[in-house]
Amino acid sequence: MAVDLFERPTRQRSGQGQQPPRGPMKRERRWRVTERLEDRGRPSRSLVVALVLACLSLITLDSTAGDDSPVEPVRRAVGEVLGPVEVGAAAVVRPFVAVPSWFRTHADLRGEIGDLEAENARLRTEVNTADYDRNRLKEYDGLTASAEDLGYSLVPARVVGLGPAQSFSSTVTIDAGSQSGLRPDMTVLNNDGLVGRVVRVTRTTATVLLIVDADSVVGGRVGSSMELGSVEGRGQLGSTGRLDLELIDSSDVPKRDDAVVTWGSEGGAPYVAGVPIGRVTAVYSSLRETAQRAVVEPYVDFAALDLVGVVVPSGTASDRAVIEADGSVR
């Protein structure tokens, strides 16, 4: 153990020199060491209390105030600063993420082709059997479209940050914000289906709550029977992530592989109607609960999210190209 010998004279001057002559040096050293130990090992009680109280008051402040919480502006300010940093870091990392996919074996690729062919066949059967429902759906769509102008446009965005599962909430950051025309409570989707909704925007980024989050509830509709229900997340990401569909009418039993689409909210916020959510994989009913509970496998692979689109009203001013309802890019 090394002891700082240069400071000793100061210590002696400050009254510590009046000790028995038996080994004052030794005693001196021990004293210095124990002081340092206490100084480093144990934090002052007032600091502990202050920090814990600060945490608790922050939690109370944020959890009781709800949406108009005073923490919200701070959250936004932190987002304004760290959002662009995350966007930059993600841009640097993106080229390297693709590297593992270059080293794929022949057997691996062959296996994937097999899987895709099987899926193709399954989808073809699905399309064939779903013809009747589709026609009916088309009629309804026509009705609603004529009733109100449902011209949706998409703002493309990329996922730049994924919230860790240690936080037990499934949220991502996307690289489009209020500059691109985004506002809270907008629908986010990708090629495969519904991704989630925007909960918070900064100038250049937005936070998206995924539908697999345990707090997420989406109004859903079973495609084949038009039955309504609510789709809730389970808080699990990855290939095992599932959703729970609870139908309002307990007498109706959804079939396996039935498609579930969004029911849609008034004014298209937070969810527009008709976006595919997932397919039914199992149905449970219990005597205790009055409703049927179906397990829905989401179409979207949430572990590999990259390009998403945010549904904005047609004609939204944006700093980037907007995909219009008719497929043209503006």
Partner 1 sequence: MNPGRAAVALAAVVVALVLQVTVFSHVSWAGVVPNLVLLVVVATGLVRGAQAAMVLGFVAGVLLDLAPPADHVAGRWALALVVVGYVAGRVRQDVRPTAGSVVATVAACSFVGTSVFALTGVLLQDPALGVGEVLQVIAIGVFLDVLLTPFVLPVVMGTFRRLEPVRATA
112 to 151: interface string for partner 1, x by CB under 8 A? ----------------------------------------
Please, what is the minimum distance in Å from the beta carbon of residue 179 to partner 1? Answer: 15
In the block, tokens 């020199």 appear at: 17
231 binds partner 1 (CB under 8 A): no
5 binds partner 1 (CB under 8 A): no
Site for partner 1 in 293-312 (CB under 8 A): 303
Cα–Cα distance, 195 to 300 (Å, whole number): 7
Please, what is the minimum distance in Å from the beta carbon of residue 85 to partner 1? Answer: 5
In the block, tokens 């997340």 appear at: 233
Q: Tell me the two tokens of residue 267.
A: 């004014």
Q: Which stretch binds partner 1 (CB under 8 A): 137-145, 166-174, 183-191, 280-288?
A: 166-174
Radius of gyration, alpha carbons of the chain: 29
In the block, tokens 């005693």 appear at: 27
187 binds partner 1 (CB under 8 A): no
172 binds partner 1 (CB under 8 A): yes
198 binds partner 1 (CB under 8 A): no
Torsion of CA 218, 216, 190, 176, to 10 degrees: 120
Cα–Cα distance, 286 to 16 (Å, whole number): 78
**Smaller CB separation from partner 1, 135 or 167:** 167
Site for partner 1 in 57-116 (CB under 8 A): 57-63, 69, 71, 74-75, 78-79, 82-83, 85-86, 89-90, 93, 97
Torsion of CA 197, 172, 243, 263, to 10 degrees: 10
Q: At what angle do helices 45-65 and 71-97 cross, to 10 degrees?
A: 90
Please, what is the minimum distance in Å from the beta carbon of residue 9 to partner 1? Answer: 17
Q: Which stretch binds partner 1 (CB under 8 A): 105-113, 130-138, 203-211, 272-280?
A: 203-211
Contact 192, 215 (CB under 8 A): no
Among 28, 213, 227, 258, binds partner 1 (CB under 8 A): 213
Beta-bridged to residue 161, according to DSSP, are 173
Please, what is the minimum distance in Å from the beta carbon of residue 136 to partner 1? Answer: 37
Contact 245, 261 (CB under 8 A): no
Element (H, E) at 6: none
**Smaller CB separation from partner 1, 13 or 40:** 40
Please, what is the minimum distance in Å from the beta carbon of residue 224 to partner 1? Answer: 30
